[in-house]
Structure 1
Amino acid sequence: MYDLVHRPGEMRESELDLVVPAKLGEGLIAVPEGSTLEIDLRIEVLHDGLLTSGHVSAEAVGECSRCLKPIDQSVEVDFAELFAYSDDEAFDYRVQDDHVDLEPVVRDAVVLSLPFQPVCRPDCPGLDPETGERVEDMVDYHPREVLDPRWAVLGELSELTERVGDGVTADGDPKPTD
């Protein structure tokens, strides 16, 4: 890159295939160590530094946050960052010894593009809360209706109202007939 530094208006484009040295991401999905990152890189020389921009493609693996099935998901993310010549505090990254270190820029772009709660498909029904089985694997699944105990008294009142309508007094005795 020595031939680009301090030559405003110059530009270079490159296509890179890099092996991921350490897992990118944590949690339910990540780009695994040893997989390949494809980077279309563009470096433009400005008066203040080098503007790097690019597009990263990779394959992330993990598990669905609802049903815990293994999933593969393609990662496509763009990035742009200015590497400054000076030690000005306004810039996060600097050109050092006529080189730029793109690793933190690419890592941040990829990791921040990963979903926090990945799903195998948008309408994934997840797991049955009682048995822990995948709902999509269960035949004729109907979730058990759980009544909040705070509403139980209202349920009893509703039952009492129905019984009063059926010829029973509020005390539970049969209504007298005329």
Structure 2
Amino acid sequence: MRRNVYEQCPIFKNDFITLKKTTTIEAGELLKCYSDKEAVKFFNSDNCNGDDFYYTTVERMEQAIKFWDFSYENKYFVRWTITLNDTNEKIGTIEMFKREAEDEFNNYGVLRIDLQSKYEKQKYIDDILEIANENFFDLFNVEQILTKAIPNATERIESLKKKSYVPLNRKMMMYGDYFIRTKE
């Protein structure tokens, strides 16, 4: 029987990172990621109503997390905090959801990865993708996962290729720079 991510949000852990549902308690630590101008360039804000995810106050970060909680409660998406196991540092978040739309990408998963710029490195992205690839296809009942990587996100692109994502080579809605992986 398939577990429902919106009834009980799982915690994922591998040797290097832990993914746990984001809470407002983490706002101060996550602000390091969301106030990082270098990091924001790599975030996927496609179809997010103009939010670029650049936040400069704890209050604004808390507002964002409260919206993420609202979205979870209404089954729109799940946002997990990425924590380094050895230091307990919160280095960013990931979001995942099953897209429901009347287009060719209906029922595809969309994965968003937001990392502090100093962690926009293959070794961290590899660990995130390892967890996503092992769990998110079944958890979200999707056959394909889409994720964005702009052309100058070279480390992210290398990780995506290493983890069997390939360029989509067309726009998703009106947005470009997507990679796709199909369930094995």
TM category, shorter: under 0.3
Which structure has the highest helix share of the two?
2
Which structure has the highest strand share of the two?
1
Q: Which has the higher contact order (CA 8 A, sep 6+)?
A: 2
After TM superposition, the score normalised by the length of structure 1 is 0.23
After TM superposition, the score normalised by the length of structure 2 is 0.23
